[in-house]
Amino acid sequence: MRKSLHRASTVALSLALVSGTAAALAPTASAATSSTCTYNITDYGATVDGNGVNYRNGPGTTYYSKGLLYTGDRLKVICGKGNWYYSQLTRRSKSHLASGTHGWIRKDMLATLAG
């Protein structure tokens, strides 16, 4: 009985892997990182100027939002692409995104950018 239960769970896991269920755990090929940047901005501090600003997974409105940022949330800007900056939250956001979270924000949504 015990051996057949083990075999059944092994078969179920194998089927899940083959059917692609485990693929959802892997990062997508379109997931943006700092390697998407076309220019560098070395460790500049910035403050968000706007309420309900999307903090995105990539440099554009077609990328999903990780959450919202609000006036006064602080970021460290790392690099950019076009009108978008790749950044890292320097402390927990007002919407409770964790400190250290990386994401993309449109540069016109920032009040300050200082080195």
Residue 114 has a pLDDT of 67
The class that CATH gives domain 36-114 is: mainly beta
Query: What's the farthest any 2 CA atoms get from each other in the chain?
Result: 67
Q: Structural domain boundaries of the chain?
A: 36-114
Q: Which pLDDT tens digit goes with each residue over 84-106?
A: 999 999 999 999 999 999 999 99
Let me know: does 90 contact 75? Beta carbons within 8 Å. Answer: yes
The answer on pLDDT for 80 being more than 90 is yes
| Average pLDDT in the chain | 77
Phi-psi region of 19 (alpha: psi -120 to 50; beta: other; left: phi over 0): alpha
The answer on pLDDT for 30 being more than 80 is no
Q: CA 68, CA 36: separation in Å to the nearest integer? A: 22
